Structure formats: C-alpha cells, structure tokens
Amino acid sequence: MKRIFFLFSILCLVSTPVWAAYGTDSVTLGSGTTAKTFKTSKNVYIDYDGGSSGLSYSVAGYHSKGAKTFGSYAGAQKIFWIDGTAATLPSAPTTADGSADFSSWTEM
C-alpha cells in the first residue's frame, strides 16, 4: 500500500523542494543531481513536507472538485483522509522510523 500511495504521490505532486504548500504545475523532490520534478493532473493539488532531517516525509493531496484530502507519511502502512480540501498537512516525522500526527484524520 505504501508503494501505491508513493507512486500516486509521485504522479500527482506539485510545488517546491523540501517544503511545499498546495500549488499548481509541478513539485521538485530532493535536491542537486538526485532531484526529481513531477507534473500533476489538472485540478490535482499536493502538499509535501520533506522534514528538517531529510530522513522522512509527509504528503497529502486532493482534487479541486473533490470533498476530501488524502495523506500519509514515510513509514505509514495506511492512507488517511479528512473532510475538505487543502487540509493542513501534519509535519514530517523527525526520524526515519517516526510517525506524523494524522490523529485528526481517518484511517482508510
């Protein structure tokens, strides 16, 4: 499930490098020679937090005509959702095996 969500995220990502707010066009993950930029589908918005340590991430996305925002984080084996679009993304875990605070979101 993590792989599916990660691939979905890669296909849909938008905005800027390490920390991004919901935006349009594309998002760049990583930096330097390993950076990858991805383009999103029309009306799809993604928020990504690469964390200050660079060891983890949290990511969420929504469609502008939808009613929910979906998200997850590195190390999670579940996808979470919350009513509404452009929901506030919990910060990325500070360690590779940490967890993000998706406590106000519902597990799928």
Gap between the Cα atoms of 50 and 94, Å rounded: 10
The pLDDT assigned to 23 comes to: 57
Domain boundaries, the chain: 2-107
**Confidence band for 14, pLDDT divided at 50, 70 and 90:** very low
Query: What are the tokens at 66?
Result: 């939808």
Percent of the chain having pLDDT more than 70? 66
The pLDDT assigned to 18 comes to: 43
The pLDDT assigned to 85 comes to: 87
